[in-house]
Amino acid sequence: MPYAGDRLDARHAIDQLEAILREVAEELAGWRSRAQKAEAELKLRAASGTPPVRHPELESENRVLRQRMEGARTRVNDLLQRLTFLEEQARENGGHK
């Protein structure tokens, strides 16, 4: 049977992972909404023959958001590795008792 500390570590890792995933999901919803608006604008411009407009401030924001997403991916991967390790430890400890 796993130690109580192992279960707490695993629960903490799961809680962290869930928090990160909620944050990523919220950001993704915002990106999706903005992307849909931009696509609609591009379709209107294309239909009217107007060339697309570049938005340097949005391009800069997108770069920052991509960096944040990469950081979130790294944190999620780290937590998944930690959780896998804790699960393996719990199995090993359970097998030796």
3 neighbors 91 (Cβ within 8 angstroms):
no
Angle at 67 between CA 61 and CA 69, to 5 degrees: 100
pLDDT of residue 76: 87
Which uninterrupted H or E stretch holds 81? Answer: helix 56-95
- pTM for the predicted model, two decimal places: 0.54
pLDDT of residue 50: 82
Residue by residue, pLDDT tens for the chain (97 residues) are: 556 667 778 788 888 888 888 888 888 888 888 888 888 888 888 888 888 777 888 889 889 888 988 888 898 888 888 888 888 888 888 755 4
- Reference 73, options 11, 14, 20, 22; nearest CA is 20
93 neighbors 24 (Cβ within 8 angstroms):
no
